[in-house]
Chain A
């Protein structure tokens, strides 16, 4: 990697030591100073004491997706020290805690180093003992500031805003940063960012996808959320609750929402269906294992046509898998969740803005199509920091769907499952409607137009056909794909979700090798016909995704089987965030094979 336009830093620490705060300070400082920066947190499924790594990538072309090999290693975990060194680029730079009892210093000799005698450096600060481990991290923040030639004042102002209510703690932190900064002035490295072009951020934010999603659900009108704690979706539910308490009080300070921490995911989704049936915008948030548990209820929502939303922040599966690593492995499960013939609307956000927007769109769709909508985010998008433009307000009014009031019932006959408008969507009434024609019985069993229990083969077939028609028709109302296309390019890349963050780098790198590609990003299922047209216009299309079995690839093949020969599946499924370099190499290899064939 060229360090004149790209610097990749791996910070190896121990979890529970406060390093997350320190790393966030670095990221925000770089952001505020005007650099393009990406941060990836690799944390263990544990509370304290195990290894954790933070990858900070600074890049002049705004390539900020994960990069495995660092140029700089901050080694603050004795346990992983040698392994971390092995991963470091040849002639890279190491900042390390020289209090470590290192048995052999030979490995260090091939690198440029800065040894920090942390205990001694902290002595003059005279902080309480319990703060020592947190302040140790601030030593490397100071050292990195020196190494990269960052503006110390900006670092200090970020720290000040972080600890604004704790003056004493703030003071110790500032002292520790100064100590790290002043420890060694001349580091003899070519890692200065001073000459890099910067663009001070204007109307930009740094946030986790889960935060943007939570805010989106508040803005989107969610009044009921039930959830069961599971990594990596818990922070979404907690952020929702926090924002709701802040933004949704009535004049008596009572809550214009209810959040229930359910006893399990079976309970959580059943509560959502009960609330959606009664007329609330209701959602649950979970991850893969929870989605599996919600399978039965998904079929109930689909067949009884009750609005519901599941927000799944995907992690690596199958089974308990890697609870703290990312993957896009729930796509096939989500698309047809449940037994029998089911097919759900799936939304695939790829940015903070989409996380926010889909917080309203998911309900507009769930209520207008009276069905389950599954939003598939992932751990990378949900729990890492992303830089984005300010979240934009959605000016579209809520679409509450076809709900008949008591007045409406005076005007026309009401049959719950009659396709009056010939669009597959029937009219419903809500419990509590004061009219003698309002009531009907909702059931997961087969039913006739009046929602009565029916074992008639014709009734059953009719309902299944109508529902399929309804969902197929929904495609024109779903978020359309993003397309970047030049007619002259004959190959293309398709992806969805957080994979998007690597694509610009991939396409630019491929162009340098004379491989010019078009790009389409899928934002929803069922698949839009535009995707078919796009694939038809190319010779080869690379479907890039973060799962083993090429799940999106298989969905495209299922829907457009005649196009299967044009598709090449490119996957990454090690649980790490998407690596542009890996994807680029795979495509280059495939192109070589393809071009040799021709």
Chain B
């Protein structure tokens, strides 16, 4: 992480939001700013990528000192993959929506997970297509009712289950209103050497906050269950005694920071077991519960650039002399083609 003295919280802010007042996405934006600031990641080293949609607009609203790319609908994942390969030293954060990732971008999402592209991947999930005015998205529960009184007849795509199934090593779900949880998760995600996926329920105040919607603030409040309470200790911070030993799991991360998980639900959950995580998620879906927390975590896999055996120097920094073989080599190659 960068020099502590260099950046202030101001340096992590972006432009004013143009989203509806009360939109969940704006809360997520604030939590992103907090997490990156507290983690002292240099804004110059961050690349923000997004697709198209209300959530994909948000990278403009945080860390203006970082380059951003608001690309095309559903292609944030492969774009991020190209960015990562071109400069493996960048800290990439990808913001996508449930339409962007669970419909048009589903293929890209799945393959990015398989490749374990090192980045923070956040889906701002509100069950609707906000920017095109309220159509159902694929993550919405069956029987949820739209603003125009349509009933969703289809079962949802659970992106967390998909991610776990496809081999993602960091899978979590959170809620835009849960500051401590989301800031802790994002902070841990920043350190993760691979794809860190966070599905963030983020209610759409305009198109999905009415009676009958399964993604309204009210419905979420009534049906949400946290698996764990969270804390995050930055590497330079003193570990204080304000958590109980025994019921708190400490996950030590690569730079010395610590993610704290305190079990709060009655559910027993082993975050190191894919099968347990999948069962847990299926069970909660059967009961129409909205489960949040860190579902699965593993620290040891290689990221995509390591699997690709790419050189230490970022590819984009390689100069012509390092890339263009010599005329003598071409003579030898011509010989081979006779």
| Residue positions of A touching B, CB distance < 8 A | 32, 201, 203-207, 211, 215, 218-221, 223-224, 226, 247-248, 250, 252, 254-260, 262-264, 266-268, 270-280, 282, 296-297, 300, 390-391, 393, 397-398, 429-436, 438-445, 453
Contacts and interface: CB of A to CB of B under 8 A. Distances in A.
Contacts of B311: 250, 252, 254-256
B320 A271 contact: no
B111 interface: yes
Interface in B63-104: 64-72, 74-75, 77-87, 89-90
A221 B310 contact: no
24 contacts: A201-B338, A219-B330, A221-B320, A221-B324, A223-B316, A252-B311, A256-B323, A258-B315, A260-B81, A266-B78, A267-B75, A267-B108, A267-B111, A270-B75, A272-B82, A274-B80, A274-B81, A275-B86, A431-B67, A433-B44, A435-B44, A439-B67, A440-B67, A443-B69
B334 A250 contact: no
Nearest to B314: A432
Nearest to A206: B337
Nearest to A211: B337
Contact of A438 (B44, B71, B89, B323): B44
Contact of B78 (A250, A271, A444): A271
A430 B86 CA distance: 11
B333 A254 contact: no
B34 to A, nearest CB: 20
A205 B338 contact: yes
Chain A CB within 10 A, most for which of B67, B70, B115, B313: B67
B191 to A, nearest CB: 19
Contact of B310 (A254, A276, A390, A398): A254
A434 B44 contact: yes
A220 B318 CA distance: 13
Given A211-B337, A260-B81, A432 B308 contact: no
Contacts of A439: 43-44, 64-68
Nearest to A279: B316
Interface string B267-290: 000000000000000000000000
9 closest residue pairs by CB, A with B: A274-B82, A279-B316, A278-B86, A271-B82, A270-B78, A275-B82, A205-B337, A431-B67, A274-B79
Interface in B149-164: none
Contacts of A398: 320, 324
Contacts, number: 212
Contacts of B320: 221, 397-398
A393 B327 CA distance: 6
Contacts of B64: 439
Contacts of B43: 439
A210 B316 CA distance: 25
Nearest to B333: A215
Contacts of B313: 250
Contact of B316 (A218, A247, A271, A430): A430
Given A219-B324, A224-B315, A274-B79, A444 B72 contact: yes
A441 B85 contact: no
Given A255-B311, A258-B305, A453-B60, A432 B89 contact: yes
Interface string B293-322: 000000000000100111111111110101
Nearest to B334: A390
Given A220-B324, A441-B59, 19 more contacts: A211-B337, A219-B324, A250-B313, A256-B311, A256-B322, A257-B315, A266-B75, A267-B108, A270-B79, A275-B85, A296-B72, A391-B334, A430-B87, A434-B42, A434-B44, A438-B67, A439-B66, A441-B60, A444-B71
B330 A393 contact: yes
B47 interface: yes
Chain B CB within 10 A, most for which of A221, A252, A271: A271
A280 B85 contact: yes
B329 A247 contact: yes
B315 A256 contact: yes
Contacts of A252: 311-312
B325 interface: yes
Given A211-B337, A221-B324, A441-B59, A226 B82 contact: yes
A255 B310 contact: yes
Contacts of B72: 270, 296-297, 300, 444
Contacts of A445: 70
B107 interface: yes
B223 interface: no
B70 A431 contact: no
A267 B75 CA distance: 7
B45 interface: yes
B198 interface: no
Contacts of A277: 69, 82-83, 86
A359 to B, nearest CB: 11
Contacts of A254: 309-312
A163 B54 CA distance: 61
B67 to A, nearest CB: 4
A271 B81 contact: yes
A259 B337 CA distance: 24
Chain B CB within 10 A, most for which of A201, A259, A278, A434: A278
Contacts of A430: 67, 87, 316
Nearest to A212: B337
A390 B324 CA distance: 18
Contact of A219 (B312, B325, B331): B325
B316 A441 contact: no
B105 to A, nearest CB: 9
B49 interface: yes
Contacts of A260: 81, 85, 115, 308
B304 to A, nearest CB: 9
B334 A203 contact: yes
Given A262-B78, A270-B71, A434-B44, A248 B323 contact: yes
Interface string B123-138: 0000000000000000
Nearest to B313: A250
A223 B49 contact: no
Contacts of A440: 67-68
B86 A250 contact: no
A593 B298 CA distance: 78
A203 B334 CA distance: 8
Contacts of A219: 324-325, 330
Contacts of A443: 69-70
Contacts of B331: 390
Nearest to A248: B323
Contacts of A211: 337
A204 B337 CA distance: 8
A221 B323 contact: yes
B86 A267 contact: no
Contacts of A207: 337
Contact of B87 (A431, A436, A442, A453): A431
Given A205-B337, A280-B316, A438-B44, A271 B87 contact: no
